[in-house]
Amino acid sequence: MTDTITYDKLETYEFDNLFELLDNRSNIPDPRNNPKPYEFVYDYDPLDSVKKNVDFNMFPHIFVGQAFEITESEKSVNGAIKKYIWKHNITVRSARYGAGNCKSSTQGRTDLNNIGSSLHKFFNTPSIRKSFGGVKMANIRFVKTSGSIDSYNTIEYYESMYELEFAVRLKVIA
């Protein structure tokens, strides 16, 4: 995470920094502990992908959405400095019977809750908050907005939705 958000990279650097930190199994452990490389964090919804077949190997996963809202407020008198707020949805899903569809019916719930707890811990860790602040992503607010069980074709899965918010004051004039 090296790209400090600037007035001309309000969306690019913000998303890249967020995705890079979440797509690191040291920061958010994968409950499968599988040594084989596979995707765990996506920048698109794998259940809506037209290029991938959905199977149990895609679970559990985290989907980090693009910022759905970027607002500005608290402008300086001359408009050179503004407060920006970014909001993201983060979705966590796990297969009800685990990644191989062969574990107990509580495996998926356990995986989902472990990932959710890791996300809460991650966004509240002082060193992580300092890292985010260093690239102009401060005042972090992370809340769970919903949880459900659903199915896709024959795959039953648990899903939790979170909202992540950052805010910072930026110089917006070159």
Q: pTM of the prediction?
A: 0.87
| pLDDT(10) > 90 | no
Q: Give the residue with greater pLDDT, 137 vs 98.
A: 137
**Is the Cβ–Cβ distance between 8 and 173 less than 8 Å?**
no
Domains plus CATH for the chain?
12-171 (3.30.2000.30)
Tens digit of each residue's pLDDT (9 = 90 or more) over 45-90:
888 876 667 777 788 999 999 989 888 888 888 888 999 999 999 9
Residues 6+ away with beta carbon under 8 Å from 126: none
**Per-chain mean pLDDT for the chain:** 86
- 3 pLDDT above the threshold of 60: yes
Q: What is the pLDDT of residues 137-147, one digit of tens each?
A: 889 999 999 99
pLDDT at 14 > cutoff 90: no
Handedness of CA 168, 129, 61, 13 (dihedral sign): positive
Strand partners, 147: 160
Q: How far apart are CA 39 and CA 51, in angstroms?
A: 14
